[in-house]
């Protein structure tokens, strides 16, 4: 069963992402939730999700640091990381690319884009 991790300190964003993924037709996806970077790293190490939706601005360990640890220190190249953030400046996108993010999406995001990316990355049949 494919695994997805949602990492965001905003409960409404976590809930929205979870609903989008759960609403995908005919798909069995296990969803994990983390509200901060430390918990996200623990889940990534233990569960090895195929897809991570990762907020940048979080307390303690931010999304850039989580992504850098996953991609460059742990060398988990097959964990696909979608950085989701309100920070849409070119500098922010550049930093996301530098730490190894696979794609960078700004908030507010289009739920259809989230669903499409989830289906694509996980190879789901909808």
Indicate the domain borders of the chain. Answer: 3-122
pTM, full prediction? 0.94
Q: Which pLDDT band, with edges at 50, 70 and 90, does 12 fall under? A: very high
What are the pLDDT digits (tens) for 68-101?
Answer: 999 999 999 999 999 998 876 888 888 988 999 9
Radius of gyration of the chain (CA): 13
Are 83 and 54 spatial neighbours (Cβ–Cβ below 8 Å)?
Answer: yes
Task: Please tell me the number of Cα atoms within 13 Å of 4 on its side-chain side.
Answer: 26
Q: Residue 89 is encoded by which pair of tokens?
A: 């400046």
Of 88, 89, 96, the C-alpha closest to 66 is 96
At the top level of CATH, which class does the domain 3-122 belong to? alpha beta
> What angle, 0 to 180 degrees and rounded to 10, lies between the N-to-C axes of helices 111-122 and 11-22?
60
């Amino acid at each position: 069963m494919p695994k997805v991790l949602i990492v965001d300190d905003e409960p409404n964003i976590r809930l929205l992402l979870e609903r989008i993924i759960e609403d995908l037709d005919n798909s069995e996806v296990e969803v994990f939730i983390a509200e901060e970077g430390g918990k996200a790293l623990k889940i990534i190490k233990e569960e090895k999700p195929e897809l991570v939706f990762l907020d940048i601005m979080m307390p303690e360990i931010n999304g850039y640091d989580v992504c850098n640890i996953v991609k460059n220190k742990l060398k988990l190249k097959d964990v696909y990381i979608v950085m989701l953030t309100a920070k849409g400046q070119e500098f922010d996108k550049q930093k996301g690319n530098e730490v190894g993010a696979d794609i960078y999406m700004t908030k507010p995001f289009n739920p259809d884009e989230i669903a499409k990316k989830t289906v694509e990355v996980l190879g789901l049949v909808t």
